[in-house]
Structure 1
C-alpha cells in the first residue's frame, strides 16, 4: 500500500513552515544567493594563485555525503575537454601517484568530515597543491593554510550540506576554470544563479500544487515505488542527487541510473512485483476481460481490439485505476495491493542543432517511456531548459531538491531531522 501524502498540507504555507523545523525550503530557495556569495568569497580567497601555477598533472576531488555531488559534477564537466584527468575520492587511501605535480580539491561544509580532511592532510604531506572549501575556523582550513593552498570559506548561515550545495560547488567550479579544466567563468555562474532564482520562484511554498511542478511530482512519487533515470551523463548526475535526496530527506529509497547503460536494469524491473499483477506479462493471467464502458480509461492508454460485442481491453483495470489490478480483489480479504512502480525521467534540453547522438538518445528515452507505460508503470518526467551544461544541471538539481522536501513534508516528516540518523551518530561517537 502506498504511503499517504497530505495534499492539503502542501498548499498550507503556514503548516509547511511549522513542520519544516530547520527551514529547509527557505534554505533551498537561497541557492541563487549562495552562488553569488560564493563567487565573491572565491575571489577574495585569492583563487588567481591557482591560475599562476603550472597546470597540474591531475586533479583529485574529495567529497562525500551531501557534498558528494561536487566531485560528480567536476568529473562530468571536465570529461569532454579537460587536458588532465579528474577523479573523485571519498576517503583514504590517497592514490599512490598523487604528489607535488597534482591538485587536490577537498570539500566539507563543516571542515571536519573525516574523509576529505584525511585526504587533504595526506595530500599536503606529499606536497600536492590544495584547494579546500569549508568553514573558516575548521581543521580543513588549517590544513590548507599550512600547505599554502587556497581555502574558500562558506559564509554565514550554512548549516546543512544538502541545502548548501551551491556554496560548496561554486568555488570548485571556478577553481577548475582558473586552471583550464572547464569553461565556467563568474559570468556563467551568474547565469546559474539566475536560473536557480527562477526555479525557487516556481517552487515556492505559496504556489498551489496544481501550478507547482515540485509539489505535483511529490504527490505522484508518493504513490509509487520510485526509480529515477537520467537520459545522459548530466541527467545521470542529477538522478544520483535525486536518489540521495529522496532517501535522506523524504526517507524513500529510489533506484537510479543513466541512459544508455541503465536501460536494461531499469526496464527489467517492469517485469517485477510492482507492475500489473505479480510481474506477469500482458495476456498471461486468467482474469476475465472487461468492457471499456465499465471502467475509467482516462489515465491510461490501453491496447484493445474489436469484437462483435464492441471493443474489449486486453488488460483489466482495478478500482484504483492502475492497469493490471484485479477488479475482483477484496482489499479486506486479500490485503492492500502493492504500490505501483514509478519512473521519473530527468531529460536534458534538446540539442541545438540536433546531432545523431542526441536523436539516438531521445529515441532510446522514448522507447523506455513506451515500454514503461505498456507495463503499467507510472511515468513522470522533468526537462531542463536550454543553457550551458551547469545551468541545465541546476534546473534538475532544484527540481529534485524541492520535490524531495515537499514529499517529506507531505508524508508528515521533518526533512532535516532523522531520529535514526541521530541514533547512529550517538552510537558511533
Structure 2
C-alpha cells in the first residue's frame, strides 16, 4: 500500500514547524552560506600549507555515511585531468602503499566517526600529509594537530552531514584546486553558493506546492517505489545522494543507478510486479489500477514503480558520445512510460560540473525533507536509528 502523503501539510507553516522541530529545511537553506563560511574558515586554518610543498603522489579520502559523498565528488571532479590518483576509503585496513609522499584527507562532521579517525591516526603514524575537516573540539582535530597537519572546522550549528554537507565538501574542493587536482577556483565556489541559494529560494517552505519543485517531486515519489537514475557520472553521484536522503530522511527505501551501466537492471524492473504490465504482485493482484477494486475485500493496491531521472544540462558542444548517452536516456524514459511507471525528471541548469551537481543535490535534499514532513515524520530523527545506536554504542 502506498504511504499516506498529506500534501496539505507541506504548505501549512504550523504543521511544518510541528513535524520539523529540528529545522531541517532551514539547515538545508544555509548550504550557500556554508560554502562561503568554509572559504573563510579554510583560509584562517592555513589551507595553503597543504600545497606549500610538492604535489602528493596520491590522495586518499576517508569518509563514511552521509559524508561519503565528499569522496565521490572529489573522485568525479579529479578523474578527467588529475595528475595523481584519487581514491576513497571508509575505514581500516589502511592501504599498504600510503606513506610520507601521499596526502590523506579525513572527513567527519562530528570529528568522531570511527573510520575516518582511525584512518587519520594511521596516516599520521606513517608520516603522510594530513588534511582533516570536522568539529574543532574532537579526536580528529587532535590527531591532525599532533601530526602537524591542517584541520578545518565546520562552524557552529552543523549537526548532521545531511544538512551540513557543504561545510565538509567546500574545503576539500579548495585543497584539491590548490594542488592542481581539479579545476575549481574561488569563482566556481561562489557560483556553487549562488546555485544553492537559488534552490533554497525555489524550494522554500512558503512556496506553494504547485510551483515548488521539491514539493511537487515529493508528492510524486510518495506514491511510488522510487528508483533514482543518473544519466552519467555526475548525476550518478547525485542519484546516490538522493537515494541516501530518501532512505535516511524520508524512510523511503530507494535504489539508484547510473547510465549506461545500470540501464538493463533498471529496465528489467519494468517487467516486475510494480508496473501496469508486470506480475501479479505479493497481494495476488497486479499493479494495474482497478477503479472497481474494493480495498477491504481485494486488499490495498500496490505502489507503482517511480523512476526519477536526473539529467545533465545539454552539452555546449555535441558529440557522438553525448548523442548516444541522450538516446539511451530517452529510450529508458520511453520504456518506463509505456509500462505505466511514474516518471519524474530533474534536469541540471548549465554551469561548472560542481555547480550543476550542487543544484541537483539541493533539489533532491529538499524533496526528501518535504516527503518526510508529508508522511508525518521528523526528517532529522529516526527512532529506530537511535535505538540501533543504543544497542551498539555507536
Q: Same fold (TM over 0.5)?
A: yes
Q: Distance in 2 between matches of 1:68 and 1:189?
A: 20
Q: Is the 8 A contact 1:235 1:348 kept in 2?
A: yes
Alignment of 1:9-24 (within 5 A): 9-24=9-24
> Out of 313, 329, 350, which is 1:365 matched to?
329
Distance in 2 (alpha carbons) for counterparts of 1:180 and 1:376: 47
Give the TM-score, by structure 1 length: 0.89
The offset of 1:353, in angstroms, is 1.7
C-alpha deviation, 1:18, in angstroms:
1.9
Query: Do structure 1's residue 54 and structure 2's residue 78 form an aligned pair?
Result: no
Alignment of 1:307-386 (within 5 A): 324-386=288-350
What's the secondary structure of 2:289's corresponding residue? coil
Matched, 1:418 2:382: yes
CA contact (8 A) 1:31 1:197 kept: yes
Larger Rg: 1
Number of the residue aligned with 1:93: 93
Task: Find the residue that maps to 1:60 and give its secondary structure.
Answer: strand
1:55 CA displacement: 0.7
Query: Shift in Å at residue 31 of structure 1?
Result: 0.2
Q: Which residue of 2 aligns with 1:390?
A: 354
Aligned partners of 2:3 and 2:223 also within 8 Å: yes
How far residue 19 of structure 1 moved from its aligned partner, in angstroms, is 1.2
8 Å CA contact retained: 1:236, 1:257 = yes
Is 1:117 the counterpart of 2:154? The answer is no
Gaps of 5+ in 1: 281-286, 288-317
Contact 2:271–2:277 at 8 Å: present in 1 too? no
CA distance in 1: counterparts of 2:53 and 2:259, whole angstroms:
38
CA distance in 2, matches of 1:176, 1:279: 49
Query: What's the secondary structure of 1:163's corresponding residue?
Result: coil
Asked if the contact 2:62/2:89 (under 8 Å) is kept, the reply is: yes
1:302 corresponds to: none
Give the secondary structure class of the aligned counterpart of 1:209: coil
3-state SS of 2:334 partner: helix
8 Å contact 1:196–1:394 — kept in the other structure? yes
Q: Which runs of 4+ in 1 moved over 4 A?
A: none
Match of 1:68, SS state, is: helix
Give the 5 Å matches for 1:253-268.
Answer: 253-268=253-268
Cα distance, 1:325 vs structure 2: 2.8
**SS of the residue aligned with 2:226?**
strand
Q: Could you tell me which residue of structure 1 aligns to residue 371 of structure 2?
A: 407
How many pairs were matched up? 389
In the other structure, the counterpart of 1:141 is 141
Within 2, Cα distance between the matches of 1:48 and 1:200? Answer: 31
Specify the alignment match of 1:304 in structure 2.
none
Q: Deviations over 1:263-301 (max 9, x none)?
A: 001000001000115438xxxxxx9xxxxxxxxxxxxxx
Kept in 2: contact 1:103–1:128 (CA 8 A):
yes
2:163 corresponds in structure 1 to 163
- 2:24 & 2:35 partners in 1: Cα distance? 17
Q: Does 1:84 align with 2:84?
A: yes
Q: After TM superposition, give the deviation of residue 360 of structure 1 in Å.
A: 1.0
Deviation track 1:189-244 (CA, whole Å, cap 9, x = no partner) reads 01100010000000000000000000000000000000000000000000000010
